[in-house]
Amino acid sequence: MTSSSDYPVLVTGAAGHVGANLVRRLLEDGVRVRVLVRPENRNEALEGLDVERAYADITDLDATRDALVGCQNVYHCAAKVSTIDGDAKHRREIYDCNVIGTRNVLQAARDTNAGRVVVTGSFSAVGYDLDDPSRPSDETMQFYPMVRTMPYERSKMLVEHECLRAVAAGQDVVIATCCAVVGGADYVPSRLGRTMCDYTNGKLRAYVDGGFAFVAARDIVNGHLLCMQHGRTGEKYIFATEYKTISDILDLYEEVSGVPRPNRKFPAPIMYAFAELASFYLSRFHPDFPQRFTPGAIRLLKLCRHANIEKARNELGYEPTSIRQAVQEAYAFHYARNAIKNPNAKRPTDEFLHPPISGADASPAEVRARS
């Protein structure tokens, strides 16, 4: 399922963490790329890249269809990611972007004969053992809706339903299921990217017990490519790199930055209760204030969910790298962009310091000046 160089591959969500890494990999592989972006969004991740741009909102079917004309194969990475419940407006935005947007991208791909569509799924839409949530989850485990879940989780479950409906109608769709992403080209930045910067800048003084399945940005990108090339129509594949506890992640942050890690640990149940109160207050009185530790995020961490990647290994030949390397790449990226303000933070090794692509990034000379 490789794309001819005569036709562009379309990538939605190209300014996001997964999309930005995917676009760079496709360009490195010599693939002609068209990106679908919203003009009002922050599209810094695309500055300086040799890509075709199509401006549209995926909730607009006609505009999305126009953007797909002439494309061969689609990577649908666009999504509104959130770990808060929010108000009715917030929940509607999640539904419209994730569910209606996916429905429209799939319909537009059918209408324009765009070929295979690889849709970015979420590990949060994969079920788990209710008696032992830490038992590795695979693709056969169904989402369980009878416990409290976040609007984002429910939306990504509905995204899978949209994909299966399209497959039932004869469309070639494969789902690349993504765990928590760690890595560079994190321009927005992601929740993990913000947490890394907070940690290095001395704003993270305690942590929550728990863990999750993480995936290196390079690994989830490779997973998308494998799905496009070798995935079976109508199937989903889970891509993870390693399970890490939050304490493990802080150890890696300390290793790459040289900034001592906090040792104060709060039990998840206590932090969950605190986060409930904080989220209730902030959502109603300060809705624009960023919430770092939300009830939804803490609930996921205390489940300590592991991922079973044997299907991707056996069918696609997927082999993960390491989260340690992904953390090094993420740190180098944020350091080069001057998001790391702590003067005591270590300079990344040259192996991970790449010349920035965006004109808004720190120049190599600026990076050297800080060493």
pLDDT in tens, 91-113: 999 999 999 999 999 999 999 99
With a cut of 90, say whether residue 194 has pLDDT above it: yes
With a cut of 50, say whether residue 368 has pLDDT above it: no
Nearest-10 crossing angle of helices 17-28, 217-230: 60
User: Model pTM greater than 0.75?
Assistant: yes
DSSP 239-270: E--EEEEHHHHHHHHHHHH-PPPP--EE-HHH
Residues 261 and 253: beta-carbon distance below 8 Å:
yes
Instruction: Please provide the size of the chain in residues.
Output: 371
Spatial neighbors of 89 by CB under 8 A, at least 6 apart, are: none
| Residue type present at position 126 | V
Residues 118 and 229: beta-carbon distance below 8 Å:
no
| Residue type present at position 280 | F
Radius of gyration in angstroms for the set of CA atoms belonging to the chain, rounded to a whole number? 20
With a cut of 70, say whether residue 365 has pLDDT above it: no
Confidence at residue 240, expressed as pLDDT on a 0 to 100 scale: 99
Residue 350 — very low, low, confident or very high, per pLDDT cuts 50/70/90?
confident
Average pLDDT over residues 280-297: 75
**Alpha-carbon span 325 to 209, nearest angstrom:** 23
Nearest-10 crossing angle of helices 268-285, 295-303: 160
Residue 359 — very low, low, confident or very high, per pLDDT cuts 50/70/90?
very low
Percent of the chain residues past pLDDT 70, beyond the cut: 92
- With residue 10 as reference, give the H or E element that holds it: strand 9-12
- With residue 178 as reference, give the H or E element that holds it: strand 173-178
Confidence at residue 357, expressed as pLDDT on a 0 to 100 scale: 40
Residue 223 — very low, low, confident or very high, per pLDDT cuts 50/70/90?
very high
Average pLDDT over residues 245-270: 93
pLDDT in tens, 5-56: 689 999 999 999 999 999 999 999 999 999 999 887 778 999 999 999 999 9
Q: How far apart are the first and last CA of the chain?
A: 45
Give the burial class of 151: count Cβ atoms within 10 A of its Cβ; 0-12 exposed, 13-18 middle, 19 or more buried. buried
Residue 337 — very low, low, confident or very high, per pLDDT cuts 50/70/90?
very high
**Alpha-carbon span 212 to 176, nearest angstrom:** 18
Residue in 329, 124, 116, 126 with CA at minimum distance from that of residue 224: 116
As given in the structure block, the two tokens for residue 175 are 């789902």
Residues 174 and 1: beta-carbon distance below 8 Å:
no
As given in the structure block, the two tokens for residue 337 are 């962009």
3-state helix, strand, coil in the chain (%, to 5): 45, 15, 45
Residues 181 and 149: beta-carbon distance below 8 Å:
no
Confidence at residue 1, expressed as pLDDT on a 0 to 100 scale: 53
As given in the structure block, the two tokens for residue 313 are 């290994």
- Domains present along the chain, CATH in parentheses: 9-186+210-242+306-323 (3.40.50.720), 247-302+329-369 (no CATH)
Average pLDDT over residues 243-252: 97
Residue 363 — very low, low, confident or very high, per pLDDT cuts 50/70/90?
very low
As given in the structure block, the two tokens for residue 66 are 């126009």
Confidence at residue 354, expressed as pLDDT on a 0 to 100 scale: 59
